[in-house]
Amino acid sequence: MSVQSTSRLSRNFVFYLTRFVVAALVVCSPTIASAQAKLSGTQEEIREIVFPRPDQVSIEGKATLTAYKDSVQVELIVITEARSLETAMRDNQALRSRLAQRFIDAGIDADAISNAKFSSSPKKGFLSQKTNSFEVGAKLQVTVTSEAELQLLAAAADQYEEVELGAIEFEHSEEKELERQVRELAVKDALDQANFYSQTLGFALKPINFYPQTFTRNSRPQLLMSRAMAMDEMAAPASLDNFDEIEFDASVTVVFEIVRNQN
């Protein structure tokens, strides 16, 4: 075989070998990229995955706290209509004042009653552009703390054609405190588990770090009332159990160092 033929074969071999290597890299690159994509997290979390510490253990603590919302903010929409704007406004204010005094006499705190948004709109004749009357609407916001007080507002809406029940929003006056308590219970759950494992397995667990996991707040609406209820039924003894239920859930991961007996 001549030297020229040998040189041509060598070049062809190098050419096809290069194409094979490139093709192999293209085929393998998605797998490599996929493997890299699955390895995610903080530097400390990745270190724990790649180089786990045999003398450490993580324990997840969970807690749930359930309570009933203890207050309700109710909007009463008062709409009055008259031939003049002044009369419509005066009638609206008079009715709202009468309602407010009625609620105060029934035991609702005066500070829990406030006037909200106000609006007015002229009403024109069907065949003319002349204003025939004015309609005035205003919202009376009342915060109540019992179902009996809530029924009082509903009764007022039933009694007056000018009054309608608007938005009803349930709240809890100690929501921040409940959140603190459920987080504390989640940590206690993790510590109780650690104490159980220590007594069972015969070595101590020392907390050295923690990772807050989740905190959720969920409402569970309860059947409250119907506007069609008879007045004598609305006067029945109240029960706070009919207020919306609120549930707090929290979880935390506590990292412990295994302290073995040196004896």
Per-residue pLDDT at 56: 87
Q: Which of 171, 188, 211 finishes a domain?
A: 171
Residues 167 and 75 in one domain: yes
**117-120 — which CB contacts under 8 Å span 24+ positions?**
120/85, 120/88, 120/89
Per-residue pLDDT at 252: 93
Residues 198 and 122 in one domain: no
Residue 8 identity: R
pLDDT in tens, the chain (263 residues): 444 445 554 555 545 555 554 455 544 544 444 444 455 666 666 665 565 566 889 999 999 988 877 788 889 999 999 888 889 889 999 999 999 999 999 999 999 898 866 666 666 555 556 667 888 888 999 988 888 888 899 999 999 999 998 888 877 778 888 889 999 999 999 999 999 999 998 889 999 998 877 888 776 655 444 333 433 433 433 444 456 778 889 999 999 998 876 55
Residues 187 and 224 in one domain: yes
Per-residue pLDDT at 255: 93
Per-residue pLDDT at 242: 52
Residues 161 and 215 in one domain: no
Beta strands in 24-147, from DSSP E residues, in sequence order: 56-68, 71-82, 113-124, 131-144
Task: Please enumerate in sequence order all residues whose Cβ is within 8 A of that of 79, keeping only pairs 6 or more positions apart, or say none.
Answer: 92, 135, 136, 137, 162, 164
Residues 84 and 160 in one domain: yes
pTM recorded for the entire structure: 0.48
Q: Which two tokens stand for residue 147?
A: 């179902």
Which among 259, 258, 255 is positioned nearest to 48, based on CA atoms? 255
Residues 190 and 255 in one domain: yes
Domain count, the chain: 3
C-alpha span between 246 and 92 (Å, rounded): 36
C-alpha span between 218 and 200 (Å, rounded): 36
Residues 62 and 181 in one domain: yes
Distances (CA, A) of 4 to 1, 11, 15, 16, 18: 8, 11, 17, 19, 21
CATH number at residue 206: 3.30.110.170
Residues 24 and 89 in one domain: no
Q: Show the domain range for 167.
A: 71-171
Residues 32 and 115 in one domain: no
C-alpha span between 155 and 226 (Å, rounded): 11
Residues 99 and 147 in one domain: yes
Residues 77 and 116 in one domain: yes
